[in-house]
Amino acid sequence: MTKEQKRYLVADIGGTHARFAYALVNDQHGLARPLIGAPFIVETHSFSCFEDALQEFLAETGTPEIAAAAVCGAGPLQNVGMSKTIRMTNCPWVLSEQALGATSCVEKVALVNDFAAIAFSVPHLTAQEYIRLGDGTVATDGAVGGPIAVIGAGTGLGVAGLMPYGNNEHLLIDGEGGHADLSPTSARELAVFEILLRRFGTVEAETVLSGPGLEALHDALCELEGVSCETVHAAEIAARAATGGERLSREAVALFTGWLGAAAANVALIMGATGGVYVAGGIVPKWGGLFDAKLFRRRFETRGKMGTYLEPIPTFLVTTPDPAFKGLAQIAHSL
């Protein structure tokens, strides 16, 4: 690390994995150019709390000097007393700025929602870190033509957005859009939806658009077809669909893709995301050629009289690993 660089601690805490890293940022001329180190990845169920996992990372890396720390978590951000807190949605951890500062011995700390961090990364992505899905002309690649939306499936479903203002600055549009309702638009989707409704009591977007959601889709299709259903994890469903080995796995992936396109359209309509909708998360970017961009885009644009509003909005797939780290580095640099 040179004297012009600052080291930031960044961490992306999901329901299944916690990822820690250091970001080196060149402070010359006030420009944040993060160089992200190799991530230190642990399974959340292996630690009783966030602080224990953080201490493990610090011990493994020799506890270097840190200028600031920024952490994101998969859950709603709340103010508890003088500290911002995230009670994780899909694991029993509780994150807090107070605990982050005390454990890392860093004064400047920030805690944000995981998709807020990804949203902050979008304006800093290079052309090699995402691909365009279909058409759309309102924003050019790499440029911000209006509000930006980000949506992505992993252990859960995350949604966030950015509103551009001033000189290349952005305001965060934060929320829990993954828990909005989901609607069927065909007889087949309706039949699957009814099975999910009976099983879960309510069907949110995250009920379908997540790792557990893909598994639930496969289970529902097995029930609908009247076939014996073995327990199949999301990664195996994708692998079977990719090799064409099982018809119901292929259909589960297709249902997932179509509903993701519809959910992305919902987000675009609600946020007025003419700057584009970016798909991220731990599932779809790993699918490669399995992801049917044409199906996704068709469902994105199919919205009756609002189709003409959605057709010009570009959609992208974020392909770079750990994009949240890039956003967290920007947040830490601003503290």
Give the rounded percent of residues in the chain with a pLDDT score beyond 70: 93
Per-residue pLDDT, 294 = 95
Per-residue pLDDT, 79 = 84
Of 43-52, 75-84, 154-163, 190-199, least confident by mean pLDDT is: 75-84
- DSSP assigned state of 270: H
**CA atoms in the 13 A half-sphere facing the CB of 322:** 25
Answer whether residue 233 is part of any domain: yes
132 and 97 belong to one structural domain: no
327 and 223 belong to one structural domain: no
Per-residue pLDDT, 144 = 47
Mean pLDDT over each residue of the chain, to the nearest integer: 90
- What CATH number does the domain containing 104 carry? 3.30.420.40
Asked whether residue 32 carries a pLDDT value surpassing 90, the answer given is no
Gap between the Cα atoms of 75 and 115, Å rounded: 9
CA distances from 36 to 39, 40, 132, 222, 267 (A): 8, 11, 24, 43, 30
Nearest partner of 280 among 113, 146, 166, judged by Cα: 113
Count of domains observed in the chain: 2
Gap between the Cα atoms of 64 and 8, Å rounded: 10
Residues 25, 8 contacting (CB under 8 angstroms): yes
Q: Tally Cβ neighbours within 10 Å of residue 66.
A: 19
Asked whether residue 140 carries a pLDDT value surpassing 50, the answer given is no
Answer whether residue 119 is part of any domain: no
45 and 188 belong to one structural domain: no
Of 143-157, 204-218, 265-279, least confident by mean pLDDT is: 143-157
Asked whether residue 143 carries a pLDDT value surpassing 80, the answer given is no
Q: Which tokens is 275 given?
A: 């700057």
Helix H or strand E segment including 296: helix 293-301
Burial of 128 from C-beta contacts in 10 A (0-12 / 13-18 / 19+): exposed
Answer whether residue 121 is part of any domain: no
- What CATH number does the domain containing 201 carry? 3.40.367.20
155 and 27 belong to one structural domain: no
Gap between the Cα atoms of 145 and 14, Å rounded: 30
Over residues 247-253, mean pLDDT: 95
Residue-wise burial string across 204-226, b where 16 or more C-beta atoms lie within 10 A, e elsewhere = bbbbbbbbbbbbbbbbbbbeeee
Identify the residue whose tokens are 């029930």. Answer: 223
- DSSP assigned state of 67: S
Per-residue pLDDT, 165 = 81
CA 94 from chain center: how many Å? 19
- Model pTM above 0.75: yes
**Dihedral sign for Cα atoms in the order 280, 142, 316, 151:** positive
* Structural domain harbouring 10: 5-113+322-333
Over residues 290-310, mean pLDDT: 94
Over residues 220-246, mean pLDDT: 90
277-280/148-153 β-pairing: parallel
Per-residue pLDDT, 40 = 96
Residues 151, 271 contacting (CB under 8 angstroms): no
